[in-house]
Structure 1
Amino acid sequence: MIAIIPARSGSKGLPGKNIKLLEGKPMIAYTIEAALKAKKVEKVIVSTNSDEIAQISLKHGAEVPFLRPEHLASDTALAIDNYIYTIDKLNDENNCSIENLIVLQPTSPLRTSVDIDLAIELFDKKEADSVVSYCKEAHPIKWHKHINGDGLIIPIFDEKLSNRQEELPTFYPNGAIFIFKYSFLKSRKYYSDKSYAYIMDRKNSIDIDFMEDFEYAEYLLKKDKN
């Protein structure tokens, strides 16, 4: 299976995060290395609009056959449009037909090659349209509220009091793994009645958007070395 690692420049929450040094190594390198180590991944492609990210990715073993056009690297661009563009261009330029792909965001540096292989195994076993990685939520979703501009608490769900133990567990997509049948992805959807969840633990599910996330990932990596 082909792996696509989307890594545009221009992050607002944590500028330069995709190549920011995490325990002495560019953050994107962790995802490239995990993908290269995965037994079920045949090719690792980085999709970026940045020459600097491209050079770092090449250094760590990924392929960067072309740069992403700027209209697919803006804050308003949809990720799914970039995935479709990337696969279509790979197919056209290499005269091949990529049927399935796995998307691995570089902001999930603690996702492992084992996670990748097990998720692909689930995708194949279920003959799925898509597999998306999820993590168990610590608190019931019914505890969530809207907060308006005045700080007023506004209910989202029915206000029925209950203990946490009485609620069914819920899960959230952690952003680490997305696997798609390409024919399904071209419908510009992520989910169908043949979509399955690959469950990951909380540690490997860290998703880096802000400096606090980065520092926590750094702490976990240091802890593992000791």
Structure 2
Amino acid sequence: MGNYNVDILAVVPARAGSKRLPGKNLLDLHGKPLIRWTLEAALESQVVDQLVVSSDDDAILAEGIRLGLHTIRRPVDLASDTAATVDVLVHTLESLAKEGVRPARLMLLQPTSPLRKAEDIYQAVQCMDKTKAESIISVCRCEHSPLWSNTLEADGFMDDFLRPEILNQRSQDLPVYYRLNGAIYLAKTESFLKSRGFFMRNSQAFIMPTERSIDIDTPLDFKVCEYLYDTMDK
């Protein structure tokens, strides 16, 4: 086991660029930049021992500094469209190790999930503690069954689009499916580094409400998020 001096390190990665929704991490959502929703939820959860913002953008880093958080400027090669989140997290861990910070557990909180609440973060940690899982990954129930989905040929014909046993079944009679919602990832640091990701043996699902599971990537996602926030119990 490692010589840890921090239990949970939470990293919020937020680069400047975004092709589908430019500047999304700083978009105003009900009076606050998008990233601040995640930062405040992490702080409010009271289970995060150190919260770090990783970015290539001065304005995004300033949001972290404004809240008194540790910030890390990531190199250009980790701020491209093709940069992998796992590499950003490894860079963060390596940067903090040089400062003597060694976390037992690593949490990823993406700023594009602003409706995730502090209680969700708290309960995810409780889930790991209770189940003794190596990692926790948040999911929500699928809005539509994937059994009603398939690829299409170039001609658009739907021969064999659905399996025979699915035809004419009511949606409520189909098996319940869950999808990744991108809101919370948590793993033991050693297991994360060994697996280079959060999917590993003994991973546990943490089920979140669908209405708190919006993941903003497009202008439509942002509009849906605004609507969901307006209809939520505050």
TM (norm. structure 2) is: 0.88
Q: Aligned residue for 2:225? A: 217
Q: Which residue of 174, 185, 208 maps to 1:167?
A: 174
What SS is found at the alignment partner of 1:145? coil
Q: Aligned residue for 2:215? A: 207
1:155 and 1:101, CA in 2 relative to 1: closer, same or farther beyond 3 A? Answer: farther
Hey, what's the Cα distance between the residues in 2 that align with 1:117 and 1:127? 15
The residue type equivalent to 2:95 in the other structure is K
Q: Aligned residue for 1:9? A: 16
Question: Which ranges of structure 2 fall in alignment gaps of 5 or more residues?
Answer: 1-7
The residue type equivalent to 1:39 in the other structure is Q
Identity fraction in percent:
38
1:131 is the counterpart of 2:141: no
RMSD, matched Cα = 2.0
**Contact 2:186/2:198, CA 8 A, preserved across alignment:** no
**Contact 2:27/2:34, CA 8 A, preserved across alignment:** yes
Q: Aligned residue for 2:5? A: none
Matches within 5 A, 1:3-42: 3-42=10-49
Q: Aligned residue for 2:93? A: 87
Question: Which ranges of structure 1 fall in alignment gaps of 5 or more residues?
Answer: none
Hey, what's the Cα distance between the residues in 2 that align with 1:155 and 1:84? 44
The residue type equivalent to 2:126 in the other structure is E
Aligned residue pairs total 224
1:191 and 1:151, CA in 2 relative to 1: closer, same or farther beyond 3 A? Answer: same
**Contact 1:46/1:54, CA 8 A, preserved across alignment:** yes
The residue type equivalent to 2:230 in the other structure is K
1:108 is the counterpart of 2:113: yes
1:152 and 1:99, CA in 2 relative to 1: closer, same or farther beyond 3 A? Answer: farther
1:219 and 1:165, CA in 2 relative to 1: closer, same or farther beyond 3 A? Answer: closer
TM (norm. structure 1) is: 0.91
Judge which range, 145-154 or 195-204, deviates more. Answer: 145-154
Residue deviations 1:4-28 (CA, integer Å, cap 9, x gap): 0010111111100001111121000
Q: Aligned residue for 1:185? A: 192
1:59 is the counterpart of 2:81: no
